[in-house]
Amino acid sequence: MADNTNPGNFANRPKEEVQAAAQKGGQTSTTGGFASMDPDKQKDIASQGGQASSGSFEPGSEKAKEAGRKGGQSS
């Protein structure tokens, strides 16, 4: 079996590092993101139904149409 050097795999990390992560008890090291926002701000953003997104495409653009046609096709 080939060596798996994926650092996301806890089996490949030093024991001390795994223990330190385990001691956090599921707490993340980041404090940002949607879940940490004020509930009223979350509701405001959610009510916009994606309109607040800084999406990659202009609605109706040729690039957006092409991406939609590709869908789940592998490249």
**Alpha carbon distance 68, 19 (integer Å):** 44
Query: What distance in Å separates the CA atoms of residue 54 and residue 41, rounded to the nearest whole number?
Result: 17
**Identity at 74, one-letter amino acid code:** S
- pLDDT at position 1 is 45
pTM of the entire structure?
A: 0.31
Tokens linked to 21: 């992560």
Q: How confident is the model over 13-48, as pLDDT tens digits?
A: 888 888 887 887 766 666 677 778 888 988 887 887
Question: What is the identity of the amino acid at 43?
Answer: K
**What is Dmax (Cα atoms) for the chain?**
52
